[in-house]
Amino acid sequence: MTTTVPPRLVDAVVLALALAEGVLTTITEDAPYAVVTIAIAVLALLARERLPLPAFLATLPAVLAPGAIVPAIAALYAVSSRYRDWWLLAGCGLLAAAGFVFPMTEFAPSIWDSYTLLGLIYFTMTALAPILLGQFLHSQRELALRLEEVKEAREHERRLDAEAILARERNQLAREMHDVVSHQVSLIAVQAGALMVSTTDPDAKQAAENVRQLSVNTLDELRHMVNLLRASGTPATELTPQPTLTDLERLIANSAIDARMVGTAPEGLEPPAQRAIYRTIQEALTNVRKHAPGATATIEITHDDTDLTVTVTNTPPTRPTLALPSAQHGLVGLQERATLLGGKLHTGPMPDGGFQLRLRLPLTAVGTAHG
């Protein structure tokens, strides 16, 4: 685990060192102007991140007199960490090295004595150190940015791969649904139609007509579901046409159940809320057919200032119940629809042996002007 030194702590340490050097240099060098140059150099350090080059130039007088080099080194590092122009960096390095070695000459007639040359070498290396350090950290920051870009690109590629795999799986599922389910439902519709023609019993003929009509409706919805699965991940993923509350009467009439509807929904419901109500009633009637043969159902729609409630209640079955496969996916889907709209779904048995399903939606979440 890597730890990063806070920038404010670094600034505080640099300023403390510059002040300490300035105080010690001022004490040893009896020069009143030294206080001014050191003060300018220390204040320039405060602006080295925003104006690195002017800050570096402002520290050079303190290098010449009284010989304070800490501000210049810190400012030179700031210049190196900001710029990549080697001509500029070389010029700043030479200025710093010349400033470092100038006080050693003591204004001698010749600057080519051995001590001065050694000082020039040493101080050139001293000026080179912050430049190289600044370039190293600058390259490190650029590399970190490049690595972050590569990481984001790989994450985007991974998401695209996952979406492609999901699209292939959905297309395969769509083919399976079409090939298996539509074949079986088509056979049901054909045999129901044949029974309508061959039978003379009015009740049997009506039952066959209901079966045929339900099979046709199922094939129609299956076709839309297959289109949805195949179009998933594209802009056009909505099921069309979508069921609305105007389709409820047809749904109840084709349910083959003795059902009646009480009450009406408020005007102005958004399409998602209308679909949730339609699917709730559809699933409830389907469960009545499967689990309560011969039962009657009451669909009640009520609303007040805050909530819209849809209640489907059925009586106990009057005929033997056939064991049919069920994974409770329908109720799970209804619960998810209700949650997305901020509502709740309640299901449970009634004291008389019947069953009740209640959907409650807040009016503020379903787009109605009522309440």
What is the domain partition of the chain in residue ranges? Answer: 7-148, 243-371
What DSSP string describes 207-225?
HHHHHHHHHHHHHHHHHHH
pLDDT digits (tens, 9 = 90+) for 140-175: 878 888 888 788 878 877 887 787 777 777 777 766
345: closest CA among 298, 312, 303, 318? 312
Which residues contact residue 114 at a Cβ distance below 8 angstroms, ignoring those fewer than 6 apart? none
Closest by CA position to 300, among listed 316, 284, 317, 319: 284
> In the numeric block, which tokens belong to residue 269?
């419901």
Predicted local distance difference test score (pLDDT) of residue 329: 60
pLDDT of residue 254: 81
pLDDT recorded at residue 115: 54
Beta-carbon contacts of 13 under 8 Å, excluding residues fewer than 6 positions away, are: none
Both ends of the chain: CA-CA distance in Å? Answer: 56
Say if domain 243-371 classifies as CATH 3.30.565.10: yes
Specify the pLDDT at position 144. 82
Q: Give 10-residue mean pLDDT values along the chain (371 residues).
A: 62 75 69 75 82 84 76 81 79 74 52 52 64 75 81 80 75 66 71 80 84 78 68 49 82 84 86 87 85 89 90 89 57 81 90 92 66 39
* pLDDT number for residue 273: 86
Look at residue 305 in the predicted model and tell me its pLDDT: 84
The token duo for 82 is 């900001």
Q: For position 360, what pLDDT does the model report?
A: 93
Q: Say how many C-beta atoms besides its own lie within 10 A of residue 133's C-beta.
A: 15
In one-letter notation, the amino acid at residue 61 is: P
Listed in sequence order, the residues at least 6 apart from 315 whose beta carbon sits closer than 8 Å to its beta carbon are: 292, 295, 296, 297, 352, 353, 354
Distance between CA atoms of 241 and 274, rounded to whole angstroms?
13
What is residue 101's predicted lDDT score, i.e. its pLDDT? 63
Rounded Cα distance between 86 and 344, Å, is 68
